[in-house]
Chains A and B, each alone.
Chain A
C-alpha cells in the first residue's frame, strides 16, 4: 500500500504556522476572518452567559429547597469527638513549652465567659431541652448557658496556668455539634479517660463538671440559625498524678448510647487519643 509521506522540515512547519496565524492572501487570522472571529466570540459569549444563568438558576433553586434550620437529609452523621492534640510533650519547668497550650485553652474559653453567654438561659433540668416552638427572640430557640466557671479548677479563673507547671494539666473535651442529636438515650454522656490498651490500670483524673458528664439540657442542638448563641458543653479532664519523663498514651472516650468509638477509619469518632509526656 502506498502511503502518505508528509515529512516536513522544521522551517516549513514554522512557515506553515506563521501562515496559520496570519494569512495575508486570504486575510485569515488563525484560520478565520476577523469578522468571523467576532461572530464566534459573540456566540460563545452568549452561550456562556446562558450556561452561567442556568447554573445560577439551579443553585438558586437549590437554595430555595434547602431548609435553613437543618440539612435536608443527612446520610452521614458527623459524630462526637474530643479535643485537639495528638502529641502533647512539654517541660513543666520551661514555661515556653506550655505557654502556647495554655493560651489556646484560654482563647478557647473566651467564648464561655459570662459576658459571651449572656444571651443564653440558665438551665437546671437534667433532661433533654426539647423545643418545638421558637421561644427565643427573632424566631430562634433558646440555648442553655455553659460558662467556664463550671469547669472549676480547669476554668482558668482560679488557676490561669491550667495546672501545667505543676504537672497536672487540664484538657478540655468537646462534643461536636450535631443537629437534633440526642446522645445517651436519657442518661448524660460521660467522658472516660484511660491508658490506651490497658483500661484496667487506674488513671488518676478529675473531671469537671462532676463525673465528667455533658448535661442533657444541652441537647439537642437545633442548628446555627435556630440557636445562634449555642455553645458546646465541655468536660475538662485534669490529670493528677503522671510520672514525669514518661510518655503515656491516653484515650478519652465518650460513654453514651448512640455514640460509637470503634470506627477504624475515623480516629476522632467518639473518642480522642493522644500521647502525653511531661518533662522536668
Chain B
C-alpha cells in the first residue's frame, strides 16, 4: 500500500495485471482468491466460549440453586461423618440441583449461540455486494470474493468493499469516521495528494462508507491486509446495554429471589427457634429455595422471545436483537421516512386531464387495467404522445413479469409513463417501432420540454407527427389550439383558465404534472425526405395543439393507511420525516392518514379564516407541516412545543442531522421512539432511536448495521405488525410468569406447614423440580402462542417506568390468591391419601420426629395398624405423588385462566390456541409417565397412584376457574374501580 497511491493508473494496471476497462478475467480472479483468501476480516477473538458458558452458570437464579446444592452437600458431609442412616439423599439432591443449573445453563448458552447464529445468517442474508468489472462486464459480486486488481465501482451509500486506489471519481466523498474519527465526510479524487497513504485523497479504505458521488478504483488490498484489517480495531459496536425487557426480567429475578431468600431465612430462624437441629433447618432452607425459584422460567422466556422473533421474520420484520422484539411493542412514536416506506418508491401516473376533465388513474401496486373512460379520441391522441415522446425502455427478457415489476431503463417519470401506457395499450415497444422516430430533442433544464418527430403508423398518412411533453406552463405557451373531444379548438382565455385550474389542483395534490401537445406537420412542407435538424430546429415548435395533462406521484402503499390508523388507535404517534417537498409530503401524509381528513395546519386555518398566519391560535391546529428551513432556526423549546402541541406532524425538506434532532426531541418527551431509515446518513438517528428500523431493500449496509430491526419488504405496515407482536409478547410473558409463579406457593406451603405442624413432608424437593422443569415447561411456552385479547392495538403504549412486566398485582394475585387455592386443593388431596391409608388428619399433626425415625418400625396409625419405616416412606412418596398430581391438575386450570387477563375465556375461545391444548396434554402425559411409568424407580420418589386421587383436586381447579372468571367479569364491569386497580395485572 505504501506505493500504490503514487503510481499512475497505467502503472497500477501493469502491477496488478488488470485493465481499467476490462477488469480481471474470472479465471485470474479465482487464482488470486485462492492465493489471498476471501476479502473479509478474521473475526476478532470473541469472549472465550468457556467464559460465556460459565456466565450462564451463575446468572439469574443459578446462584440460589448453587447455594442450595452447596447446602445439600454440606449436610451430606455432616451426616456422613456422623454415620447417619441415609445421608445419600442429600448428596443426590445436591447433584440434581447442580444438574438443573448446568442444564439450564447449557440451554441458555445454546440459545445465545443460536441467536448469534441468527445474526450470522442475518449478515449472510444481506451480504455486502460490490459492483465489479470482470471479463469486461459489470457484475454484482459478494464483496468477499473481491481480489487484488479488481476494478470496482462505488456510489453514494455503499460501504467501501476493500482498500481501493481510485482512478475515476465524480463528487465522491467518504466518511472515514470508523478509521480516523473525522466526522466530516472527506472528498476523494484520483490525484496523489500526500505521501502518507492514510492522508492521500486517491485511496478509499475498506469498511468506510461512500457518502455521495461515484468512483471507480482498483482493489489494492483485501481482507486482513487492508489498513483497517491491520489496525484490527474494528469498532465492535456498542456495548451490550440493557433493553427494556432485560430490565423487566432482572426486576423479576430480584423480586423472586428476594421472596425466596426472605422466606427461607425467616423459616430458618423459625425452625431453629422451634429447636429443630441446624442441619434439619438447612435442609428446610434448601426446600424453600427450590420451591420458590421458577427454575424453568428464564428458559421459557428466551424460547417465547425467539418464537416471536421467528414469527416476525415471517412477517418481514427481521429482528437482529431478540429483546428488540419487545421494545418495538412499547414504541410510542414512529418517525418514518416517506419514500419507500410509506410510498411505493416509484412514480406512478395518478391523474389525467383532458377534455376539460380530471380523471383518476389506479395507483395500486398490482394494476393490470386502468378504469377511466378511454373512449374519447383525445385520449387516443394523448396516449400516442405519451407512448412516443418517451425514451424509457424495458430491459429485454422480462416479458413474463407483471408490468409493474419490470425493470426499466430511464428516469422515474418516464418509467411511470412507460408502464402506464404499457398497461393500457399493450406492447409499447412495437407501437414505437411502427412510428419510427426521425428526430428527437431530449429534456433539458433550459427548454423544460422533450420533443420527438415520428412517422405515423398509418401508411396512407404521410405526415410527420411532432410530439412534445414538458412543464405544463411551457407547453401551453407553445400551443394555439387545444383538443377537445378529438377536435382542435382555439385556445381562448376560458380554456386557458380551465387548464390553470386543473394544473393548480393537480399540483396542490403534491403531484408532478406534465403537459402534452402534438402537431401533424403538413405533408407538403415536410415531405418524407425532409432533413430534420434538432440543432437549428428547422420545424415548428409553436402553435401546437395542446392535448392534455398527466400528473404523477409516488403513491402510498395500499397497506399504509390502514397501518397508520392502527398506530393511531394504538396511541402511537406517526411522524413523517422526509427530504421531500412540503406539498408532496403533506399530500402523502393526508392520503395515508398521518394528517387526518378533519385536522388542519396553521396555514389551513389561516386560509379558511382568511387571516394572516400569525393571527392563528396555534393550539387550534392539530397538524403541522414543518419545513427543514424553519426547523433550522428553531430552539429546542420551540421544537418541543411543536412535538407536544401537534398530534400530527410532518417534517419536510429535512436533512439527516435534523432527523437526529427530531428523534432526540421525541425522547425528551419520554417517548420510546422507533425510527426508519435507509441511507448512510440515517445511521446516527437509527442508533439514537430506541429501536432503529432499516429498510431491507432500499437500505444501505450502514443503515442495516446501525438498526435493530430490518424490514425485509420496506413496508410501513410491517412495523405495525411488529408493534402488535411486541405488545403481544409482553402480555404473553406476563401470563407465562403469572402461570409459573402461582404453583410456587403450592410448592412452598408444604415446607412451611411441615416445619410448623410437623406433619409428614407433603412434597419432596425432587418432585418440585419435576413440576418446574417437567410438567410446567410446555404449557408456559404455549402461552406465548396465545392470541391477543381484543384491545391490544387500542390502548396506549406501555410506560416503561410504570407498567412493569411483573407488577404488584400480578405477584399478589398469583401468590396470595390462586396460589393459596392451589395449596388448599393439594393439601386436601394429601390428607385424603393419608386418611384413606389409615392416617386421619388428626394423627398426622406433630408426628414428624417419630415418623422419620429409623428406629421405629411399629408406627401406629389411626386404626391401630403398625407401619415399618419403609412402609411409611412409601406412603410419604405416595403423598408426594398425590400432591404433585393435584398441583398438575390445578395448573391445568391455572393455564386456562391465564389465557386472558381481562376477557372471559369464552370470549377468547377455549380452542383458538391449539398449543395450549398441546401443553395441557403434555402436562397430563408427563405426570402419568412419572407416576405410572417411573413409579417403581425409588430414587425419583414417585409411586403408581390410585386413579381416584387424580380427581380430588378437580373441584379446586374448577373453583380457580370460576373465581378468575368472576374477577375478570368485575374488572370488565367496573373499570377503574377498587377491584380493577387491585385485581388487574
Chain A residues closer than 8 Å to B692, beta-carbon distance: 1
* Interchain CB contact under 8 A, A4 and B242: yes
Interface residue? A258 (CB, 8 A): no
* Interchain CB contact under 8 A, B242 and A3: yes
Interface residue? A78 (CB, 8 A): yes
Separation in Å of the B118 CB from the closest CB of chain A? 16
Separation in Å of the A184 CB from the closest CB of chain B? 18
Separation in Å of the B669 CB from the closest CB of chain A? 14
* Interchain CB contact under 8 A, B938 and A1: no
Separation in Å of the A204 CB from the closest CB of chain B? 27
Question: A232–B860 Cα gap in the complex (Å)?
Answer: 12
Chain B residues closer than 8 Å to A73, beta-carbon distance: 836-837, 946
* Interchain CB contact under 8 A, A74 and B982: no
Interface residues of A in 245-280 (CB under 8 A from B): 263, 265-269
Partner-contacting stretch, out of B526-534, B609-617, B786-794, B827-835: B827-835
* Interchain CB contact under 8 A, B865 and A78: yes
Interface residue? B869 (CB, 8 A): yes
Interface residue? B708 (CB, 8 A): yes
Interface residues of B in 683-700 (CB under 8 A from A): 687-692
Interface residues of A in 1-33 (CB under 8 A from B): 1-6, 31
Chain B residues closer than 8 Å to A118, beta-carbon distance: none
Question: A51–B826 Cα gap in the complex (Å)?
Answer: 13
* Interchain CB contact under 8 A, B247 and A4: yes
Write the A55-90 contact mask toward B (1 if CB under 8 angstroms, else 0): 100110011001001111111101101001010000
Interface residue? A119 (CB, 8 A): no
Chain A residues closer than 8 Å to B824, beta-carbon distance: 51, 54-55, 58
* Interchain CB contact under 8 A, B864 and A78: no
Q: Tally of A-B residue pairs with Cβ under 8 A?
A: 144
Minimum CB distance partner of B829 in chain A? A58
* Interchain CB contact under 8 A, A265 and B247: no
Interface residue? B820 (CB, 8 A): yes
Interface residue? B866 (CB, 8 A): yes
Q: A76-B837, A224-B863 are in contact. Are A1 and B690 (CB under 8 A)?
A: yes
* Interchain CB contact under 8 A, A66 and B242: no
Question: A76–B867 Cα gap in the complex (Å)?
Answer: 10
Interface residues of B in 582-630 (CB under 8 A from A): none
Separation in Å of the A87 CB from the closest CB of chain B? 12
Minimum CB distance partner of B324 in chain A? A1
Residue of A3, A76, A176 most packed against chain B (CB within 10 A) = A3
Partner-contacting stretch, out of B26-34, B206-214, B870-878: B870-878
Majority SS at the chain B contact face: helix
Write the A217-260 contact mask toward B (1 if CB under 8 angstroms, else 0): 00001011101001010000000000000000000000000000
Minimum CB distance partner of B857 in chain A? A268
Minimum CB distance partner of B327 in chain A? A1
Q: A4-B800, A51-B821, A224-B862 are in contact. Are A39 and B978 (CB under 8 A)?
A: yes
* Interchain CB contact under 8 A, A3 and B243: yes
Minimum CB distance partner of B688 in chain A? A2
Question: A124–B619 Cα gap in the complex (Å)?
Answer: 111
* Interchain CB contact under 8 A, A81 and B327: no
Residue of B667, B821, B866 most packed against chain A (CB within 10 A) = B866
Chain B residues closer than 8 Å to A178, beta-carbon distance: 865-866
* Interchain CB contact under 8 A, B831 and A59: yes
Question: A269–B863 Cα gap in the complex (Å)?
Answer: 20
* Interchain CB contact under 8 A, A221 and B864: yes
* Interchain CB contact under 8 A, B690 and A51: no
Residue of A47, A62, A263, A269 most packed against chain B (CB within 10 A) = A62
Interface residue? A145 (CB, 8 A): no
Chain B residues closer than 8 Å to A221, beta-carbon distance: 864-865
Question: A59–B869 Cα gap in the complex (Å)?
Answer: 26
Question: A40–B865 Cα gap in the complex (Å)?
Answer: 48
Q: Which one of B808, B828, B835 contacts A31 once the chains associate, using CB atoms below 8 Å?
A: B808
Write the B841-865 contact mask toward A (1 if CB under 8 angstroms, else 0): 1000000000000010110111111
Chain B residues closer than 8 Å to A263, beta-carbon distance: 870
Question: A43–B981 Cα gap in the complex (Å)?
Answer: 14
Chain A residues closer than 8 Å to B360, beta-carbon distance: none
* Interchain CB contact under 8 A, A66 and B836: yes
Separation in Å of the B84 CB from the closest CB of chain A? 13
Interface residue? B461 (CB, 8 A): no
Separation in Å of the A3 CB from the closest CB of chain B? 4
* Interchain CB contact under 8 A, B840 and A63: yes
Q: A2-B688, A55-B828, A268-B857 are in contact. Are A76 and B871 (CB under 8 A)?
A: yes
Interface residue? B838 (CB, 8 A): yes
Separation in Å of the B871 CB from the closest CB of chain A? 5
* Interchain CB contact under 8 A, B691 and A179: no
Chain A residues closer than 8 Å to B869, beta-carbon distance: 266, 268
Question: A121–B952 Cα gap in the complex (Å)?
Answer: 43
* Interchain CB contact under 8 A, A62 and B832: yes
Interface residue? A134 (CB, 8 A): no
Minimum CB distance partner of B238 in chain A? A1
Q: A2-B667, A71-B837 are in contact. Are A81 and B708 (CB under 8 A)?
A: no
Minimum CB distance partner of B979 in chain A? A43
* Interchain CB contact under 8 A, A179 and B978: no
Interface residue? B407 (CB, 8 A): no
Minimum CB distance partner of A52 in chain B? B824
* Interchain CB contact under 8 A, B691 and A1: yes
Chain B residues closer than 8 Å to A190, beta-carbon distance: none
Chain A residues closer than 8 Å to B633, beta-carbon distance: none
Chain A residues closer than 8 Å to B687, beta-carbon distance: 1-2
Interface residues of B in 218-240 (CB under 8 A from A): 238
* Interchain CB contact under 8 A, A40 and B982: yes
Chain B residues closer than 8 Å to A79, beta-carbon distance: 868, 871
Interface residues of A in 190-229 (CB under 8 A from B): 221, 223-225, 227
Chain B residues closer than 8 Å to A5, beta-carbon distance: 241
Chain A residues closer than 8 Å to B77, beta-carbon distance: none
Question: A70–B858 Cα gap in the complex (Å)?
Answer: 18
Minimum CB distance partner of B978 in chain A? A39
A residues contacting B by CB (< 8 A) are 1-6, 31, 36, 39-40, 43-44, 47-48, 51, 54-55, 58-59, 62-63, 66, 69-76, 78-79, 81, 84, 86, 174, 176-179, 221, 223-225, 227, 230, 232, 263, 265-269
19 residue pairs from A and B, CB less than 8 Å apart: A1-B708, A2-B688, A39-B978, A48-B820, A51-B824, A62-B835, A63-B841, A71-B835, A71-B863, A71-B865, A75-B837, A76-B878, A78-B866, A78-B867, A79-B868, A79-B871, A81-B866, A179-B864, A265-B874
Known: A71-B865, A73-B837. 11 other contacts (CB 8 A): A1-B243, A3-B243, A4-B242, A47-B817, A54-B824, A58-B828, A69-B863, A81-B857, A176-B858, A177-B860, A224-B862
B residues contacting A by CB (< 8 A) are 238, 241-244, 247, 321, 324, 327, 667, 687-692, 708, 800, 808, 816-817, 820-821, 824, 827-828, 831-832, 835-838, 840-841, 855, 857-858, 860-871, 874-875, 878, 938, 946, 959, 978, 982
Closest 5 CB pairs of A and B: A224-B864, A266-B870, A176-B866, A3-B241, A268-B868
